[in-house]
């Protein structure tokens, strides 16, 4: 499985757009990029998944450059409730034994 690197922590203010970048230099051809969100004492929750270019859903966007060696999770107009840990995972569908790194701890300030 491809190793990922994310910032340990980030701070933001309410209403701002937050971009969290994940590096995955040894991503394989059949690997997908997936992001999860975790609140304290809760299990992680799926946010978004993509393979290339841009994916958008109701809560976030995922930007993946052509070389796929990194990806950026974009959270538009964050609120205090977006304070959480965000994990970037890289691996294939159908047989991926999901491996979580330490994630990025996002703190949204008023």
Partner 1 sequence: DADVTQTPRNRITKTGKRIMLECSQTKGHDRMYWYRQDPGLGLRLIYYSFDVKDINKGEISDGYSVSRQAQAKFSLSLESAIPNQTALYFCATSDATVEEEKLFFGSGTQLSVL
List residues binding partner 1 (CB under 8 A): 32, 34, 36, 41-46, 49, 85, 87, 93-103
Nearer to partner 1, 3 or 77 (CB): 3
Nearer to partner 1, 76 or 102 (CB): 102
In the chain the beta strands, taken as DSSP E runs, fall at 9-13, 18-23, 31-38, 45-50, 53-56, 61-64, 70-75, 84-92, 104-109
Min CB(8)–partner 1 separation in Å: 10
Min CB(105)–partner 1 separation in Å: 9
The residue among 88, 105, 106, 93 whose CA lies nearest residue 4 is: 88
């Amino acid at each position: 499985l491809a190793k990922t690197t994310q910032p340990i922590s980030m701070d933001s203010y309410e209403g701002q757009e937050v971009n969290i970048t994940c590096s995955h230099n040894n991503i394989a051809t059949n690997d997908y990029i997936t992001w999860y969100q975790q609140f304290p004492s809760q299990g992680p929750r799926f946010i978004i998944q993509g393979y290339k270019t841009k994916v958008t859903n109701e809560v976030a966007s995922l930007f993946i450059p052509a070389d796929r060696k990194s990806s950026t999770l974009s959270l538009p107009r964050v609120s205090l409730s977006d304070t959480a840990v965000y994990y970037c995972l890289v691996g294939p569908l159908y047989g991926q034994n999901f491996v979580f790194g330490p994630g990025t701890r996002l703190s949204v300030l008023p």
